[in-house]
Structure 1
């Protein structure tokens, strides 16, 4: 400052003479706050007291402070900022301005969030050109300093190439913090197969999964903090981003606890400076990392967290309904968490379905019942309760649940006039519940009514209505169910035709395309059972493979596609006796079992599927290991069910295994 503003030089010299510890050499002996007071504020104030400072020509002197967020001693940073604010409060006309460039760390943000300080988010003002310039400066500096890069450039030419830099800029998406983190990842030596910046650059260019190491290293900074995994899993699984206040309310914790976890993660998660702006990921590859277990390890956002989010959505919504019984709830009047709950609770139900424990299932129903008691004429609440009661009925087979679900659906439909925008949804739900109800009542009339209801809904969704594909699928499923009861071939023919039309409307990347592929496969299998037409079975297997490709783990429907593909392969084996089909069916059923650990409601079914297929392979190959594993699986299933027929099967198989062992033993003795 003495060089830029000579009027301050004698005062700076006097301060250093009086206290040599103000100098930073060989190491600082006083705090940054004290240095600013003695070497900046005091001299500038003293110079201004003598008259206008000519060197400034009427303009303020600007000091830029960068890297405050990198300082390890947060208390010292807070003292520095407090000193600045106190100086400007006492001396508002001193020609000095301070520009602080920093990440939005909480200990910095909290001090600067006062009148007289202008806060701005750099992300709102930067462009890809700014990021490109920033990276150019960083890479040029790295080339000057790093002899390995210099040698590489001499041999191979420019590094990174313009195309590589352009890809990096596109990935970074306007975040200087993320750009800095990616650059450090490229330049920082690591153990393993990527020892040089040149070998690490391709990882950054791939992003997914190239930056897994960066993500794991950054997340580890907050891993020890309370609520860490809940907060990270929530951010990864939300259907739309929420601000820190919304995340806190949704999880039932304090805002400061959310901020405490996120302040260390700003290299990969964009944390706004205020509580009303959503928290977002710097790059979508972070979500892929967090939702892929074999990549994220201890940071994995398990799909079961959807169940927790559903329960919290219902609790947040219920708290508002208790305060405002029988009053229309408008989302724009709600807190972010409640507005989110009203929009997306059903989505978390869909993603968490079959992953909830029975106690959680009962809690979901209890919360919906309480909400409906407060707002008895809300069709959406009625449908929501009907949906979960239907699924419980499907799981338990309870006729009482089946009957209640059907009654609720009829009540909801009666509340919606002919042209109400939600009437179509109500028709869909009623038709689907009628189908489920038919499995309990064994009444063909339920299926006939379901078909009639779905035909009505389809008429109300002419092409190009966005919901037409759903109506096509619902009607097709109802027709397939009637075919399974009556074996009237025209029903399955129409079902296949409708499913094919739905598939045409669900081109990639439609989220329900895999369901349509699977639906056609199931319908073709049903026709195959009647006609024994091998082309139907071949196409069904092909369709189930395609559906499975669109359902990578942890997709909630993957286990169903594995079951269907395994079943198709088993059917083809019975026709062709190709052992490869049997081997692949075992592999499919084994993976399905792994995806259905206890207390999954279909764990028992998966045990039986795998055991029966292993038994079929034993009958073909006479492999002892297969029958031994099959017996073990049947025993595990009996331990769960306690059914006498399961025990009888185990006893027969054990007797067969014993007899086989005795026969082999006798042969061995005779050979000697």
Structure 2
């Protein structure tokens, strides 16, 4: 934090001694905005976030329309405005974030290496506005621009999984709204791609697995496909984040697997065993005797069915 505070002090001094018409002033303002935003992320200081918005807006305003760096400043401004919306709920900030992110995309060349990231950011803010207003136009645009982001991201790019996961979530939200099975199928496919392209030890992999598991469970609810339910159980087993939400979800999915599997199905003992293990894990976390009793019952039933 000492380094970050000093960086902000120095960047502010640089802004103060740079003449208004200097060609490098916008870059210094943008840098100061990033440093202030970074400190906000660390401390939660609204003063820092407000200053980040203000100085980044100044960077945009002092940059000619045709300057190659202007799209980057616009993208940063959109992110700080969207971040402030999340903190304050101001629709003015969210609307401005969408407008600014749109300008960033529109002024970024098709072959620019940062175009996919800017498309994805626009999709995030459009999806956020859909969540707030229910506008299908925003959700449709969000799906379209994030799909474009996927298409323009190289297979081996480090951000590809993040963009795929975002697209899967947006398609899942559109399925929830319209009931389109095509959207749900596509959501499952791209969420699976996000998992498949993420290394086993990556910190975001558990989140991608969680998204995939949720989508598979929703498709099972719609179609009754045991393959989807089995995959959802497998995904829940791989998702070990220590989160109680994930643990509760794993118990719920494993319970569904047991409840919907015929008594004479060859896999039923395995599902019972999974459910017993998840209930036992939750008992260790919560001390719930109900979980312990259910775990013992299911594990005993597993032994009985295997023996039979």
Same fold per TM (> 0.5)? Answer: yes
Match in the other structure for 1:620: 222
1:555-611 CA distance string (max 9 Å, x none): 222222212211110110000111111111111111111121122221111111111
Q: 1:518 aligns with which of 117, 120, 123?
A: 120
Residue 406 of structure 1: aligned partner: 4
How is 1:248-327 mapped onto 2 (pairs within 5 angstroms)? Answer: none
Aligned pairs, number:
261
Give the greater-gyration-radius structure (CA): 1
Name the CA distance, whole Å, in 1 between partners of 2:222 and 2:260. Answer: 15
Q: CA deviation at 1:553?
A: 0.5
Cα separation, 2, equivalents of 1:481 and 1:627: 36
Taking the aligned partners of 2:74 and 2:251, their CA distance within structure 1 comes to 48
Give the equivalent residue in structure 1 for 2:68: 466
Cα deviation, 1:338-393, whole Å, max 9, x if unaligned, reads xxxxxxxxxxxxxxxxxxxxxxxxxxxxxxxxxxxxxxxxxxxxxxxxxxxxxxxx
What CA deviation, in whole Å up to 9, does each residue of 1:461-495 have, x standing for no partner? 23233211111111111112222222322222222
Name the counterpart of 1:642. 242
Counterpart in 1 of 2:207?
Answer: 605
Structure 2 unaligned runs (5+)?
A: 266-308
Q: Deviations over 1:426-484 (max 9, x none)?
A: 43233234334434434433321210121222233232332111111111111122222
C-alpha separation between the residues in 2 aligned to 1:501 and 1:652? Answer: 44
Q: CA deviation at 1:423?
A: 5.4
Q: Which has the higher helix share?
A: 2
Residues 491-515 of structure 1: per-residue CA shift (max 9 Å, x gap): 2222222222222321222222223
CA distance in 2, matches of 1:664, 1:477: 54
RMSD (Å) for aligned C-alpha atoms: 2.4
* Corresponding residue of 1:661: 261
State how far apart, in whole Å, the 2-side matches of 1:655 and 1:499 are: 43
* Structure 1 residue 660 displacement after superposition: 2.1
User: Structure 1 CA distance, aligned partners of 2:29 and 2:165?
Assistant: 30
State how 1:457-536 maps to structure 2 within 5 Å. 457-536=59-138
For structure 1, the 5+ residue unaligned runs are 1-402, 666-672
After TM superposition, give the deviation of residue 664 of structure 1 in Å: 7.8
Displacement of 1:614 in angstroms is 0.9
TM-superposed deviation, 1:521: 1.7
2-structure distance, mates of 1:475, 1:645: 33
In structure 1, distance between residues paired with 2:148 and 2:63: 28
1:110-129 aligned within 5 A? none
Q: What's the offset of the Cα at 1:404? A: 5.0
Query: What is the CA–CA distance in structure 1 between the aligned matches of 2:255 and 2:4, rounded to whole Å?
Result: 48
Q: CA deviation at 1:644?
A: 4.3
Question: C-alpha separation between the residues in 1 aligned to 2:114 and 2:244?
Answer: 41
Contact 2:8–2:36, Cα closer than 8 Å, also in 1 = no
Distance 2:206 2:72 in 1: 31
| Counterpart position of 1:592 | 194
Shift of 1:646: 3.0
Mapped to 1, the partners of 2:89 and 2:79 lie a distance apart of: 14
Aligned runs of 1:66-85 on 2, under 5 Å? none
SS at match of 1:464: coil
Q: TM-score, normalised by structure 1?
A: 0.36
Shift of residue 656, structure 1, vs aligned partner: 2.7
SS at match of 1:597: coil
Is contact 2:191–2:212 with CA below 8 Å preserved after alignment?
yes
Q: Tell me if the contact between 1:469 and 1:501 (Cα under 8 Å) persists in the aligned partners.
A: yes
Question: Relative contact order, CA 8 A, sep 6+: which one is greater?
Answer: 2
Q: 1:410 to 1:435 in 2, by over 3 A?
A: closer
Q: Once the two structures are superposed, what CA deviation does each residue of 1:617-637 show, in whole Å capped at 9, x if it has no partner?
A: 111112222222222222212
- Tell whether the 8 Å contact from 2:12 to 2:32 is kept in structure 1 after alignment: no
Distance 1:479 1:664, change over 3 A: farther
Describe how 1:383-462 pairs up with structure 2 within 5 A: 403-404=1-2, 406-414=4-12, 416=14, 417-419=17-19, 424-462=26-64
Q: Does 1:573 align with 2:171?
A: no
CA distance, structure 1, for counterparts of residue 219 and residue 38 of structure 2: 34
Would you identify which runs of 4 or more consecutive aligned residues in structure 1 move more than 6 Å?
A: none
Aligned to 1:652: 252
CA distance in 1, matches of 2:34, 2:23: 19
| Candidates 519, 536, 541, aligned match of 2:143 | 541
Q: 1:582 aligns with which of 181, 184, 189?
A: 184
Instruction: Please list the CA deviations of residues 153-198 of structure 1 after superposition, one character each: whole Å capped at 9, or x if unmatched.
Output: xxxxxxxxxxxxxxxxxxxxxxxxxxxxxxxxxxxxxxxxxxxxxx
Summarize the alignment of residues 188-267 of structure 1 with structure 2, pairs less than 5 Å apart.
Answer: none
**Contact 1:409-1:429 within 8 A present in 2 as well:** no
Cα pair 2:168 2:191 within 8 Å, conserved: yes
